[in-house]
Structure 1
Amino acid sequence: MSAKRPSASPASGEKKRRKAITLEMKLKIIAQHEGGKPVMVISRELGLSQSTISTILKDKKRISDAVKSSASIKSTVITKKRAGPIDDMEKLLVEWIEEQVQNRIPLSLLMIQAKARSLFNMLKEHADPTYTQMFTASHGWFQRFKKRHNFHTVKVTGEAVCADIECAEAFKEELHRIIVEQKYLPEQIFNVDETSLFWKRMPECTYTDQESKAIPGLRDHVTLLLGGNVAGFKLKPFLIYHSENPRAFKNVSKHTLPVHYRHNKKAWMTSALFEDWFLNCFIPQAKEYCRQNNIAFKILLILDDAPGHPRHIGTMHPDVKVVYLPLNITTLIQPMDQGAIAAFKAQYLRQTFAQAVEATESGQTLLEFWKGFNILNAIQNIAAAWEEVTEQCMNFVWKKVLKTCGNTFNGFNKDCAVDEIVTNKILMLGKQLELDINEEDIHEIVSIKTEEISGEELIELQEERSKNVEPEEEVIPNPLKQFTTKKLAEAFATIGKGMRMLEAMDGNYERFARADRQVQDALVCYREIYNEKKKQTVCSQFDSIMKNTKPAKSSTKVNAPMPSTNYSQASPEGREIDNPGTIAFTSSNNTF
């Protein structure tokens, strides 16, 4: 009898390791199979055995139920969860931990255990009186909780509690060396940073407790990525919201929004979204900026060490060098944290207050205004507020990270800038709304750091999203807005009528003439659209006539007159319209 063939395993005596498959991967496998891809092809592409793929497909219902029950898609184990306050507590605790990590707040075992006990006790108070189970947040529970939700390591990342001033100075020297050696210009040095914006959160005195429950989305938030360069140029805001197609976007193309709009369930920055911003938003805008300023596209991008900033970003474009701020010093020298974000939030609050004043003056109540205020209104205010952040402010924020940049840092103070907006504008608008607010209330809203969400707020936020997110994301946008020659002509006529009314009332001819020129200049783009639409209409009508004209038989003699080339005999429809819907804003020789 021949000897047994030796094992073909790569290392004798070693057991073959099992490959852990996450829920995310299992969902992908199920989706591919439902899309018509054979098991054999999926197996070959993913490097898994066909039996493994078949087992996953047979377990489809249990996998789907696990995802619906808010299990982490990174989890590799589907466990049977206990119903009641403990299950609800773990869902809220996952939300809280992810929020702390997103905001770069250090976590410890004791902090997580204390939060778990607090959430459980709060939920138990509202549970059935017969529920008597106890919960101590033991070490064993924590180990099982980490395994269930794939929190293998609760890593403290980002801004530390104690900032290291000496490290900040050393980084400043190193950055200066890089700038000098590579000869970077102020226009080529950029920084960006994320901030959370609770877009409906106002000072508590602007509504009562009962009113706050009646206002949808009061604790809803977006994540904004804001940034610019040393020269004061501001990048287009990158906004992350939890809904792909909010109801407010009906008839609105997201490509026309004044922000780069993205979405995910948590409305947080992820590595994938940051890569999307880097390649599809930052690179094109920075290239165009350099081209307009006749400078080389050679960029130095300064980032903090946030969880959503992948380290390989620096290798994704040969002309962009990425430098990361060291741990523990971000709060000291991160440019955007030195006044730009605070000024933006102050301007956002001012914009929103101004709209509230306008609404109340037109007959609305403050509660009605808040109910009607949606994410599209917030995006418009975000764009307007970012526009109001001055070039001087954007230049000043680099003072703590750059050794020198000319004398452009002189004469600006970030605290004074925000104080001026708060004292002179927001408080005045608050008085018009008859609100009893002070500077401390406003500074609490515009502060850069996001305050921790309480247990009650976590519950309300989860309930609100469970009710609203699904219907919103199923909304199919209606056809996009379109121009028509008829509507454009009506618009021109209406504007012309309005200008003639102003002319009849204004005794100052010079003022009216100046306004007339500005309006005419502003309408040039719409006149061009009208002319183009009109040409297309005339051409289509001509083509239609030619198609319907039957050619004469060869044996038939036709003595038709030759068409006239005299322009004066041509019909008005055949002439090109240079000034459609003519708006005669000129003076009618009135004597003032």
Structure 2
Amino acid sequence: MVYWCHNFHIFVLFVGDFTVSMASKRSAKTLSGVPKRKKAVMCLTEKIRVLDKLRSGLSYSAVGREFNVNESTIRYIQKKEQEIRQSVREAAPESAKVTSIVRDAAMEKMEKQLTLWIHEMTTNERSVVDSVVVRLKAKEIYGHVTQGQENVKPFSASAGWLARFKRRYHMKNVKLAGKAGSADREAAEEFTKYLLSIIHEKGYMEEQVFNADETGLFYKNVGKRTYVMRMASKAPGFKSFQDHATLLLCANAKGDFKCKPLMVHRAQNPRALRGKNLNRMPVHWRWNKKAWMASGIFWDWFHNCFIPEAERYLHSKNLAFRVLLILDDAPVHCHEELENAHPDVEVLFMPPNTASLIQPLSQGIIKAFKAHYTRELYSKAFEALDANEEATMMDYWRSVTIRNVIDYIGTSWDSIKQATINNCWGNVWPDCVKNFEGFEGVTKNIKNTVENIMHIAQQISGEGFDDMKEGDVEEILAEMAVEPTNKDLDEMAKHGIGVSDDEDTDESQPTTPRIVPLTAAKIAEWNSALEKIFNDMEECDPMLERSLTFKRLTSNAFVPYAETLKDLKRKAKQTRLKQFFKPVWEGKLLTPPSCESQTPEVELPDLAHHLH
């Protein structure tokens, strides 16, 4: 017999003398007043933390309580340890932070290399990286990474896969050409507000705020239409003719200080530099086989070039050595390591796809430098041909050595005016600009240099020079990067980005050891260890006064780390920049992943109590 109760929404079923009450899940929740436990979905990064906790000796139940999941979930994660660790090793950090399942290793490798390829290609303003191109490139890279493997899963690079890929790697859109095309204006505006709040809160002056960025330089490029370049292109191994280097440029907001450029060349010790004092050159000389910037080179530049130069400059101005350095989000910029790399240097990273809108060096400084360099190259060519009537442009082009190139770079960088640099900060920090002429003023100066280049070129005999147009010069200035091959991508993925620091670093150059980042979690771990030691001493030492003395002295010594932890926790509680730049796909705001890592809440030692 079945009765229906309107008040409680309960079915009561009588079967003989046995009564079974059944309530809907909603009714049970209402009656009990206890909310249903939300299902926890852990990303791969959190699962690695679980596995590390288990390896440290914690029990399944203890780890489950810490991560607020059932013990059975912890046991299942340990069962899949090998697959999880393999998947994280193959994946890029961005993917591991949002992916909860173990994915195919070939797919992880392909996506990691694809992100590196996209980053390299979007540094070239003439590169078109739309959805169709990305899907075709993904299939090509997948075929490369699975070459020779058996039982390879088919991969079609569908639109659905592309949508998920862009979510995993926080790519707002991949549909337009170059940096400016994919620029995120909303993120740029939010970053500008955040930057200005930091400058106002901490009282940074325009002398103390710097921006650094890399650019490619084809230092013998005199224009593709010229006879010289057309003849060179017919020669075997043309890429070696069109010599390429990477330059790292850095300047402050006031515009009165420019760091010595860092030049990354493919040769360790070129013949033209043998016997030369590298420390007295107008560039910092570094090298690797691809002439790429690498994280080890950037780390070395930060400690051994940037900090000493900035410190000398600020002391000469009778200003405190307090520096704010603004960088883009390139992987080589050692994000985590730079957060606490130096107590007097604060580093801010611009969000993805915003450099073309707000990065000062991208607002005209780099282009002005390349215009000055090209004018210097043409001027020296004209002088050489004027001095020797029998010489040709090809003769001069072949005679240019890396030593000449370094001199041209030094002269060109020195030619950038303070007003030009200061005006290029107008988009990100308008108040620091003195006598703002607008970017039209910067553009006008560059245009004058371009006209000067054209005038010099017309005086040089040879096909392609006497009829050189403004567009030909603009093409030279826009030449920034070359597309990496699949082999290059393999090497970049293997070593993070760039090439192997161990393989290519010159032992004669200064090196700075890499450090493990000082994080809130690490300090909290030390804090917990101290608390355990204090408790053990109080229990085991029969002389209570001795243990309390040790506790007081140790707590006093730990105060700097306790203050650092409080500062890191304060920063973590502030609105994170990443929350401003939530990825958008097809006009819909995506929900941020629930497994975003957070700074753990840690109970600090009661230092005041220990001192009594």
TM-score category of the 2 structures, normalised to the smaller one: 0.5 to 0.7
For residue 359 of structure 1, what is the amino acid of its counterpart?
A
Q: Distance in 2 between matches of 1:247 and 1:452?
A: 25
When residues 306 and 93 of structure 1 are mapped into structure 2, their CA distance, relative to the original with a 3 A threshold, is closer
Contact conserved, 1:211 with 1:367, CA < 8 A, in 2?
no
Map Cα deviations across residues 475-519 of structure 1 (whole Å, 9 max, x no partner). 999xxxxxxxxxxxxxxxxxxxxxxxxxxxxxxxxxxxxxxxxxx
When residues 162 and 353 of structure 1 are mapped into structure 2, their CA distance, relative to the original with a 3 A threshold, is same
Map Cα deviations across residues 78-131 of structure 1 (whole Å, 9 max, x no partner). 9xxxxxxxxxxxxx99996674376698967852553589999xxxxxxxxxxx
Q: Does 1:173 align with 2:200?
A: no
Q: Does 1:421 align with 2:449?
A: yes
**Which secondary structure state, in structure 2, belongs to the residue aligned with residue 244 of structure 1?**
coil
CA positional deviation for 1:141: 9.0
For residue 219 of structure 1, what is the amino acid of its counterpart?
Q
When residues 370 and 157 of structure 1 are mapped into structure 2, their CA distance, relative to the original with a 3 A threshold, is farther
Report 1:434-513 matches (<5 A).
434=461, 435=465, 436-447=467-478, 450=480, 453=483
Aligned to 1:52: none
Map Cα deviations across residues 141-198 of structure 1 (whole Å, 9 max, x no partner). 989xxxxxxxxx8885995744343443333232222212211111111111111111
Contact conserved, 2:206 with 2:432, CA < 8 A, in 1?
yes
Aligned to 2:240: 217
Q: Which residue, out of 193, 197, 202, partners 1:182?
A: 202
When residues 138 and 343 of structure 1 are mapped into structure 2, their CA distance, relative to the original with a 3 A threshold, is farther
CA positional deviation for 1:10: 6.8
Aligned to 2:325: 301
Aligned to 1:240: 264
Q: Does 1:407 align with 2:434?
A: yes
Aligned to 2:25: none
Q: Which residue, out of 251, 265, 275, partners 2:299?
A: 275
Q: Which residue, out of 236, 261, 266, partners 2:290?
A: 266
Report 1:319-338 matches (<5 A).
319-338=344-363
Contact conserved, 2:283 with 2:410, CA < 8 A, in 1?
yes
Contact conserved, 1:157 with 1:307, CA < 8 A, in 2?
no
Q: Distance in 2 between matches of 1:116 and 1:170?
A: 32
Q: Distance in 2 between matches of 1:189 and 1:474?
A: 30
When residues 16 and 474 of structure 1 are mapped into structure 2, their CA distance, relative to the original with a 3 A threshold, is closer
Q: Distance in 2 between matches of 1:301 and 1:173?
A: 16
Q: Which has the higher contact order (CA 8 A, sep 6+)?
A: 2
CA positional deviation for 1:373: 1.6
Aligned to 2:133: 111
Aligned to 1:231: 254
**TM-score normalised to structure 1 length:** 0.54
CA positional deviation for 1:245: 1.6
Q: Which residue, out of 399, 404, 408, partners 1:372?
A: 399
**TM-score normalised to structure 2 length:** 0.52
When residues 453 and 165 of structure 1 are mapped into structure 2, their CA distance, relative to the original with a 3 A threshold, is closer
CA positional deviation for 1:433: 0.6
When residues 399 and 139 of structure 1 are mapped into structure 2, their CA distance, relative to the original with a 3 A threshold, is farther
Q: Distance in 2 between matches of 1:176 and 1:476?
A: 41
Contact conserved, 1:357 with 1:429, CA < 8 A, in 2?
yes
Q: Does 1:391 align with 2:418?
A: yes
Aligned to 2:593: none
Q: Distance in 1 between matches of 2:201 and 2:185?
A: 25
CA positional deviation for 1:240: 1.1
Contact conserved, 1:245 with 1:474, CA < 8 A, in 2?
no
Q: Does 1:359 align with 2:389?
A: no
When residues 315 and 354 of structure 1 are mapped into structure 2, their CA distance, relative to the original with a 3 A threshold, is same
Aligned to 2:584: none
**Which secondary structure state, in structure 2, belongs to the residue aligned with residue 288 of structure 1?**
helix
**Which secondary structure state, in structure 2, belongs to the residue aligned with residue 308 of structure 1?**
helix
Aligned to 1:343: 368
When residues 450 and 302 of structure 1 are mapped into structure 2, their CA distance, relative to the original with a 3 A threshold, is same
Q: Distance in 2 between matches of 1:475 and 1:451?
A: 24
Identical counterparts, % of pairs: 36
**Which secondary structure state, in structure 2, belongs to the residue aligned with residue 450 of structure 1?**
coil
Map Cα deviations across residues 263-315 of structure 1 (whole Å, 9 max, x no partner). 12222222222211111110000000011111110111111112212222131
When residues 367 and 304 of structure 1 are mapped into structure 2, their CA distance, relative to the original with a 3 A threshold, is same
Q: Gaps spanning 5+ residues in structure 2: where? A: 1-56, 61-74, 90-104, 107-112, 143-151, 159-167, 174-178, 489-503, 509-612
Contact conserved, 2:426 with 2:433, CA < 8 A, in 1?
no
**Which secondary structure state, in structure 1, belongs to the residue aligned with residue 248 of structure 2?**
strand
When residues 9 and 292 of structure 1 are mapped into structure 2, their CA distance, relative to the original with a 3 A threshold, is closer
For residue 433 of structure 1, what is the amino acid of its counterpart?
I
Q: Distance in 2 between matches of 1:142 and 1:307?
A: 25
When residues 163 and 335 of structure 1 are mapped into structure 2, their CA distance, relative to the original with a 3 A threshold, is same
When residues 18 and 255 of structure 1 are mapped into structure 2, their CA distance, relative to the original with a 3 A threshold, is farther
Q: Does 1:316 align with 2:341?
A: yes
CA positional deviation for 1:342: 0.6
Q: Distance in 1 between matches of 2:171 and 2:291?
A: 21
When residues 427 and 253 of structure 1 are mapped into structure 2, their CA distance, relative to the original with a 3 A threshold, is same
Of the two, which has the highest radius of gyration? 1
When residues 16 and 407 of structure 1 are mapped into structure 2, their CA distance, relative to the original with a 3 A threshold, is closer
Q: Distance in 2 between matches of 1:236 and 1:334?
A: 19
Contact conserved, 2:139 with 2:155, CA < 8 A, in 1?
no
For residue 121 of structure 2, what is the amino acid of its counterpart?
Q
Aligned to 1:198: 218
RMSD: 4.7
Q: Distance in 1 between matches of 2:351 and 2:373?
A: 31
CA positional deviation for 1:344: 0.3
Contact conserved, 2:121 with 2:481, CA < 8 A, in 1?
no
For residue 234 of structure 1, what is the amino acid of its counterpart?
K
Map Cα deviations across residues 356-379 of structure 1 (whole Å, 9 max, x no partner). 112222232111111122222212
CA positional deviation for 1:206: 2.2
CA positional deviation for 1:438: 0.8
When residues 301 and 211 of structure 1 are mapped into structure 2, their CA distance, relative to the original with a 3 A threshold, is closer
**Which secondary structure state, in structure 2, belongs to the residue aligned with residue 209 of structure 1?**
helix
**Which secondary structure state, in structure 2, belongs to the residue aligned with residue 407 of structure 1?**
coil
CA positional deviation for 1:210: 3.0
**Which secondary structure state, in structure 1, belongs to the residue aligned with residue 403 of structure 2?**
helix
Q: Distance in 2 between matches of 1:118 and 1:17?
A: 31
